[in-house]
Structure 1
Amino acid sequence: MINTSALREKPTLIGENVRLVPLGPEHTDSYFSAGLDTEVRRLMGAHGHPTYEQARKWCESRADREDRLDLAITAPEDGRYLGELSLYDVSPENASAGYRIALSAIEFTGRGLGREATRLVLRHAFEEVGLHRIWLHVYAFNMRAIAVYRSCGFSVEGRLRDSLLWEGRRYDSLLMAVLRDGFDPS
């Protein structure tokens, strides 16, 4: 059985280059702005973006969710918003959950921030929440993200063919997952 209190009590997870804090109303402006970035939306497969009011309601409601974990990725030195991540679709019966991460601007990619944030949240998910399996979807063109996920122990389990139509082209989505005993915390 998993420790659901580890989902209710929103943690702060501290790494060398990132600090994961509960996503809240103070992140609304940055969360909204990230949704306006075309490249961020392409990597996420999001054709539209939320209105400011939708972003505000989303950020305000995260602390009340007991069935998922939504964290802002921030810079440890000044609290600058770098992105956000989620453990969602948590299945206590199966000790599994979905995972997603989005850096808020392309300028934050290639610096190891996503890898560090992923390792921090996976460690929390496996050690504190007690999950056994964490899965995600990533578009096959996002080679950088795929490499990060592999370095954290994720393996490709399947392919959803032509699952994204973006500017007239179709792209596959990969289903990847990591099991507790396959996670590399280093």
Structure 2
Amino acid sequence: MIDLNALRAKPTLSGDRVRLVPLSEEHTDAFYASTLDEEVRRLTGTHRTLSYHQVQQWCATRAESRDRVDLAITERPGGRFVGELSLQDFDQENESAEYRIALSAIEFTGQGLGREATRLVLDYAFGQLGLHRVWLHVYAFNMRAIAVYRACGFSVEGRMRESLLWDGRRHDSLLMGVLEHDFAKLSD
């Protein structure tokens, strides 16, 4: 069984091109700008618009959260904010958690930043937190994200038909998951 007390210490994880740091109030401006990007909103299925104050409060309280891990994705070198990710909805008894990631603008896609961030957080989830399974939802039209998740060991486990209504069209979402031993095979 995983120790949820481990979630109190928010990690800093470094790769070749990205550094994952605890999401904090210093990320408010860039995070808020990403919530206004129409393509980011479509890819994440985000209908609700948040105020600057709501985003500021969210960022400012992430370090205090005891039931999830929220990290800013920053570019190396330079430290520019390129997105954010979370491990959330921990199921302690079954050693699993949900993963979500959003790059802050389309300009950051196709560069391997999301793939590196995902691999870093999975290594942390399995190696440090002791998880057995990490799962996520992704919209079926987001082929680039699906390819990244597959490259990180995720497999499609199910489909939620017509779960998103966007601009008058309905879209399916896929449930994908990766098990600790499947991810470990990628690292060998």
Q: After TM superposition, is the score higher than 0.5? A: yes
Tell me the distance in 2 between the aligned counterparts of 1:39 and 1:110.
14
Quick check: 1:50 aligned with 2:19?
Answer: no
CA RMSD of aligned residues (A): 0.9
Residue 141 (structure 2) aligns with: 141
5 Å matches for 1:33-182? 33-182=33-182
What is the one-letter code of the residue matched to 1:151? A
Give the C-alpha shift of residue 49 in structure 1: 2.2
5 Å matches for 1:26-37? 26-37=26-37
Give the C-alpha shift of residue 170 in structure 1: 0.5
Tell me the distance in 1 between the aligned counterparts of 2:33 and 2:59.
13
Structure 2 alignment gaps of length 5 or more: none
Identity %: 66
Tell me the distance in 2 between the aligned counterparts of 1:122 and 1:10.
14
Runs of 4+ residues over 6 Å off in structure 1: none
Tell me the distance in 2 between the aligned counterparts of 1:138 and 1:102.
11
* Contact map agreement 1:152 1:185 (CA 8 A) in 2: no
- The Cα offsets for residues 44-64 of structure 1, whole Å up to 9 and x where unpaired, read as 000122110110110011000
**Structure 2 length-normalised TM:** 0.97
What is the one-letter code of the residue matched to 2:37? D
* Contact map agreement 1:85 1:100 (CA 8 A) in 2: yes
Tell me the distance in 2 between the aligned counterparts of 1:111 and 1:150.
16
Structure 1 alignment gaps of length 5 or more: none
SS of equivalent to 2:28: helix
* Contact map agreement 1:119 1:185 (CA 8 A) in 2: no
- The Cα offsets for residues 119-144 of structure 1, whole Å up to 9 and x where unpaired, read as 00000000000000000000000000
